[in-house]
Amino acid sequence: MEKKRLCGQNLKEMEDWIARLGEPRYRAHQIYQWIYQRGANDFAQMTDLPKRLRALLQETAQVGLPTVIKQQLDPEDLTVKLLLELKDKQRVEAVLMPYSNLDFSRNRLTGCISSQVGCPIGCPFCATGQGGFIRNLEAGEIVGQVIALRQEALKSENTLIESLNIVFMGMGEPLLNYAEVLKSIYLLHDPKGLNISLRRITLSTAGVVPRIYQLAQEELPINLAVSLHAPNNDLRNQLVPLNRRYPLEELIPACRKYFESSKRRVTFEYILLNQVNDTEDLAEELALRLKGLPALVNLIPANPTNGADQRPSPERIRSFTRILKTRGLEVTLREGRGGNIAAACGQLRARDSSLRSE
């Protein structure tokens, strides 16, 4: 029989389980903190538990954190990418971006995590989408990535772990794995556990409209980012195939609703693909499409995947940005992080080790 896996359980679940073993409930608190706050993966480390209980736990349970099987550092911008192996040998990647070495004042630490192994949406510019879909991640596998990234961040002396932001921008479409993603958000937030403020958590979606409404009802102050990538349905149908199911006339009102209930401004991500969606006309059309919405546009110059480099020239990026700003939109440009180790947006895959070139 497989041993009970603890990572992914909330405190209530752990208490119920420990009570069934005939142990006092406060033991669950201790184990919970060892796992979520201290990243312990072995009961032997839990030195404040009686020896007898540690032995019992070894026999019946496992912490079950994902195994870090590879770690890569981008020497230029200090981004770290972890390749993690799950219980069924599937693999996912997670990325830690330390605050920019060019701009220490920003003082940010961002962990980018995956919600699925692969992704069923299949956007043509995204390595994950091109690799197909394998399965959803469990809440424990999502939180396990954050624990691994946190342990990584703690290795460096001057990190401010309290400044850790989490973005669901790794592999997969989080809103197609709603229940487990939501459970992971509660676990990340729990002050008795990882204690990450909801305001520091961002979920990025390709636009699963019914789930955006559902998320709005949860009334959690997490940030929503929507991968827009095109201002009209014709183009968006090609770039984000999910648009055929949920076109812009449905997506934009859902975003408005999210803003109204969360009071948090929605971010619209817009990949810039040379000569595809980066023309001045499309910038004008985008400004019209977002008119009246409290929105932030985050432009992401395309990162190369499968050998294809579709990034526009700096002049094209500048003129697209300028038009949006002239039309009154707030615009940010996402710095490409981790490009040297294929850790930048859209470059994660890790579907199968045999597919990896290194």
**Which residues contact ligand SAH by CB under 6 A?**
119, 125-126, 169, 173, 204-206, 227, 269, 271, 300, 302-303, 305, 345-346
Instruction: Please state at what angle helix 209-218 crosses helix 248-262, rounded to 10 degrees.
Output: 10
Candidates 131, 36, 46, 55; CA nearest to 93 is 131
β-pairing verdict for 67-73 and 164-168: unpaired
Partner that binds at residue 149, options ligand SAH, ligand SF4, none, CB closer than 5 to 8 Å by kind: none
Among 173, 180, 269, 278, binds ligand SF4 (CB under 6 A): 173
Partner that binds at residue 269, options ligand SF4, ligand SAH, none, CB closer than 5 to 8 Å by kind: ligand SAH
- Residue 7 or 176: which CB sits closer to ligand SF4? 176
Distance, CA of 338 to CA of 83 (rounded, Å):
14
Q: What is the DSSP code (8-state) at residue 274?
A: T
Partner that binds at residue 267, options ligand SF4, ligand SAH, none, CB closer than 5 to 8 Å by kind: none
Other beta carbons within 10 angstroms of residue 32's beta carbon come to 22
Q: Say which of 7, 126, 255, 345 is annotated catalytic.
A: 345
Distance, CA of 142 to CA of 6 (rounded, Å):
13
- Structure-token pair, residue 96: 């830690």
- Residue 50 or 132: which CB sits closer to ligand SF4? 132
Site for ligand SF4 in 103-162 (CB under 6 A): 119, 121-123, 126, 128-129
**Is 93 in the active site?**
yes
Q: Which residue lies nearest ligand SF4, judged by its C-beta?
A: 129
Distance, CA of 68 to CA of 323 (rounded, Å):
44
- Structure-token pair, residue 93: 């990647």
Q: What is the dihedral of CA 188, 191, 196, 200, to 10 degrees?
A: 110
- Residue 110 or 116: which CB sits closer to ligand SF4? 116
Q: Say which of 15, 23, 93, 173 is annotated catalytic.
A: 93
Report, as residue numbers or ranges, the catalytic residues.
93, 345
Residues that bind ligand SF4 (CB under 6 A): 119, 121-123, 126, 128-129, 172-173, 206, 227
